Amino acid sequence: MNVLVINCGSSSLKFQLINSESEQCIAKGLCERIGIDGSMITYSPAGGEKEVTVTPMADHTDAIRLVLEALTNEKTGVVKSLDEIGAVGHRVVHGGEKFSGSVVITDEVMAAVEECNDLAPLHNPANLIGINACKKLMPDTPMVGVFDTAFHQTMPEEAYMYGLPYEYYQKYKIRRYGFHGTSHSYVSKRAAEVLGVPYESLKTIVCHLGNGASVSAVKNGKCVDTSMGLTPLEGLIMGTRSGDIDPAIIEFIAHKENKSIDDVMSILNKKSGVLGLSDNLSSDFRDLEAGYNNGDENAIRTMKTYCYHVAKYIGAYTAAMNGVDVICFTAGIGENAPLVRRLTCGYLGYLGITLDEEANGKRGEDLVISTPDSATKVMVIPTNEELAIARETVRLVG
């Protein structure tokens, strides 16, 4: 079966068509600037030329229509008709406490996702628009929702509660939810597979280090803690997000700089993280790594602080699981930045970790980057959220 995987943002839409038998991506692409001047679609069929077309897209329905046209195009398409698309898997960011797994999308599910809009006001409405647009154009094709928060729903109460008045949990469901769940689940399972060890018997820490970044503790196949919270702002230092800070800093900056709470929140989300910490050198680790190697003090400070924070979370989650068997690095930075892995593991001598420098320098495949005698294994596992969404879709409607 071919599964269309859709990841819808407020003005963008990423898609992949995946063949569920071969698990290969047949075509993928991106619609950008939806509803804004200069909308464009990028379409890449596997083994074919990438095409970029600037064309108006008034809304997400227009965008999906263009995606379907590209996939079925006589010359460059990869399927003859829409009948060859068996199901659609949608990434949905926030499933609140309602969804602890993927679901077939029904009217009741749509209503329940809408109820979570408060918790993810930037993401969930866009995800719903994407689902509605697909339903309009492919009314008879089954659709599945795969939630970023679902994998983390197994966290125990002590991991998800904050030290706040309990009434806020009761009234507003303020608690830790965690994100990137599809990736944490995929990577932790894949690590067990690669090691040939039962998933249910492993203590794994997954460091998903991309533009957004989070760490999770997965014990015996279940998530027991994760670093992102009510929103994706908590936890690690990220590309432009601050991660953990003393909450009193918000009021302090607001007073000193005569700013509103909204202004400060925007600074914490968009101008902080490694971008802010490096005094605006870059949010991209390729630049930071180059700067670090050239002795740039902004890059050195940023790289050291970033890796120290990752190492602190690894320490915390080792405590949460009473040990750790394997530490996995994934996502843009985790997969591609050997320096980040080396500096982070530099703090983990107490876990008996020795890094294999040669393996750590390699790119691409699932790799063990610790030496054979390392007491805790360290791995690089490339994440594949689209494939995980396609698998979930087939599991539910296949």
Closest to ligand ADP by CB, 99 or 285:
285
Q: Which of 96, 145, 181, 210 binds ligand ADP (CB under 6 A)?
A: 210
Closest to ligand ADP by CB, 45 or 232:
232
Three-state SS string over 54-93 comes to ECCCCCHHHHHHHHHHHHHCCCCCCCCCHHHEEEEEEEEC
- Closest CB to ligand ADP belongs to which residue? 332
Q: How far is the CB of 104 from ligand ADP (least distance, A)?
A: 26
Could you please report the per-residue DSSP string of 91-134? EES--TTT-SS-EE--HHHHHHHHHTGGGSTTTHHHHHHHHHHH
Q: Which of 51, 84, 244, 284 binds ligand ADP (CB under 6 A)?
A: 284
Q: How far is the CB of 334 from ligand ADP (least distance, A)?
A: 8
Q: Assess whether 148 carries a catalytic annotation.
A: yes
Q: Which of 12, 211, 231, 371 binds ligand ADP (CB under 6 A)?
A: 211
Residues within window 53-82 making contact with ligand ADP, judged by CB under 6 A: none
Strand-pairing partners, residue 329, are 207, 380
Q: Taking the CA atoms of the chain, what radius of gyration do you get in angstroms?
A: 21
The answer to whether the CB of 30 falls within 8 A of the CB of 43 is: no
Q: What are phi and psi of 102, to 5 degrees?
A: -75, 155
Interface with ligand ADP includes 212 (CB under 6 A)? yes
Give the number of residues in contact with ligand ADP, rule: CB under 6 A.
13
The residue with tokens 């490096």 is 278
Structure tokens at 23: 């698990």
Q: How far is the CB of 39 from ligand ADP (least distance, A)?
A: 20
Q: Which of 102, 153, 185, 336 binds ligand ADP (CB under 6 A)?
A: 336
Residues within window 337-376 making contact with ligand ADP, judged by CB under 6 A: 337
Cβ contacts of residue 344 below 8 Å, gap of 6+?
207, 307, 310, 311, 314
Closest to ligand ADP by CB, 274 or 351:
274
Rounded CA gap, 380 and 371, in Å? Answer: 13
| Amino acid letter, 15 | F
Structure tokens at 311: 């190492």
Q: What are phi and psi of 211, to 5 degrees?
A: -55, -50
The answer to whether the CB of 129 falls within 8 A of the CB of 43 is: no
Interface with ligand ADP includes 285 (CB under 6 A)? yes
Q: Which of 45, 239, 276, 291 binds ligand ADP (CB under 6 A)?
A: 239
Interface with ligand ADP includes 306 (CB under 6 A)? no
Interface with ligand ADP includes 12 (CB under 6 A)? no
Structure tokens at 282: 């870059």
Closest to ligand ADP by CB, 77 or 332:
332
Closest to ligand ADP by CB, 203 or 329:
329
Q: Which of 50, 136, 286, 304 binds ligand ADP (CB under 6 A)?
A: 286
Q: What are phi and psi of 359, to 5 degrees?
A: -65, -40
Rounded CA gap, 296 and 282, in Å? Answer: 12
Interface with ligand ADP includes 331 (CB under 6 A)? yes
Q: How far is the CB of 385 from ligand ADP (least distance, A)?
A: 9
Start-end of H helices in 337-377: 338-345, 357-360
Closest to ligand ADP by CB, 81 or 293:
293
Structure tokens at 140: 């008879």
Residue from 62, 83, 140, 148 carrying the catalytic annotation: 148
Q: What are phi and psi of 355, to 5 degrees?
A: -90, 140
Q: How far is the CB of 231 from ligand ADP (least distance, A)?
A: 15
| Amino acid letter, 397 | V
| Amino acid letter, 292 | Y
Interface with ligand ADP includes 243 (CB under 6 A)? no
Closest to ligand ADP by CB, 169 or 308:
308
Q: How far is the CB of 340 from ligand ADP (least distance, A)?
A: 8
Closest to ligand ADP by CB, 243 or 332:
332
Among 247-255, 329-337, 344-352, 386-394, the segment contacting ligand ADP (CB under 6 A): 329-337
The residue with tokens 């995946």 is 18
Q: How far is the CB of 323 from ligand ADP (least distance, A)?
A: 28
Interface with ligand ADP includes 181 (CB under 6 A)? no
The answer to whether the CB of 15 falls within 8 A of the CB of 43 is: no
Q: So which residues are the catalytic ones?
A: 148
Contacts to ligand ADP by CB under 6 A: 210-212, 239, 284-286, 289, 331-333, 336-337
